[in-house]
Amino acid sequence: MTDQFAYPPDREEASAKKVAALEALLIEKGVITAQTVDKVLAYFETEMTPLNGKKIVVKAWTDPAFAEKVVLDTPAAIAELDLPDGMAGAEGEHLQAVANTSGVHNLVICTLCSCFPWPVLGLPPYWYKDPTFRSRAAREPRKVLAEVGVDLPPDTEIKVWDSSGHSRWFVIPERPAGTEDFTDEMLMDLVTTEAMIGVALAGPAS
């Protein structure tokens, strides 16, 4: 869906090699240890993942009071949920949710670099950092969304939110129609990282 924004394979491979070389050098110099690297990776693989965002979205879909609170005071609303400790740290200091409605679609970008709500969505996808995506999404969001399969009615307002050190935005997508009898687990299957950024709608995986 977002292949047109992804790094070319050779560039991605080169970046991976640079990261590996830097990691090896830091370990060799005693700046970090291999255990430190493993611990950090495990932290993002098991604690700071899109599963947290899915739980927030489903709670908003099924609890009107929470849905209202999560956009008014996101940290306070999230604190009510059974989520991992540390949600307020590591890129989560200023989490802010915005909700899609029938007349408003929200899109999250970062024009400066790649600020991202790690505690809610995990690590950012490569294309989120791509300069082409960042600049075009800010300049012509409706066209970019259409190119990735999000064709919105002409009268739908598109709001673009620029994440920064002051705010880490994420989207509460609209709940798909016909899901009134779904369990929370079934609803979570409809929520993707892309939907929580605004480059996709919630729904069954294609």
Annotated binding site: 110, 113-115
Catalytic residue among 15, 102, 113, 167: 113
Paired with 105 in beta bridges are: 158
DSSP state of 5: G
Contact 92, 168 (CB under 8 A): yes
Residues in the chain: 206
Q: Please tell me the distance from the alpha carbon of residue 18 to that of residue 7, in angstroms, as a whole number.
A: 15
- The active-site residue, picked from 15, 102, 110, 167, is 110
- C-alpha–C-alpha distance, residues 41 and 45, integer Å: 6
Helices vs strands, H then E, count in the chain: 11, 4
Active-site residue flag, 110? yes
Cα distance between residue 49 and residue 47, in whole Å = 6
User: Which listed residue (114, 135, 163, 167) is catalytic?
Assistant: 114
Tracing tokens 């830097």 back to the chain, one arrives at: 22
Residue 114 is a catalytic residue = yes
Is residue 115 annotated as part of the catalytic site, yes or no? Answer: yes
Q: Which SS3 state, helix, strand or coil, does residue 99 take?
A: strand
* Residues annotated within a binding site for Fe(3+): 110, 113-115
User: Which of these is catalytic: 15, 102, 115, 167?
Assistant: 115
The catalytic residue positions are 110, 113-115
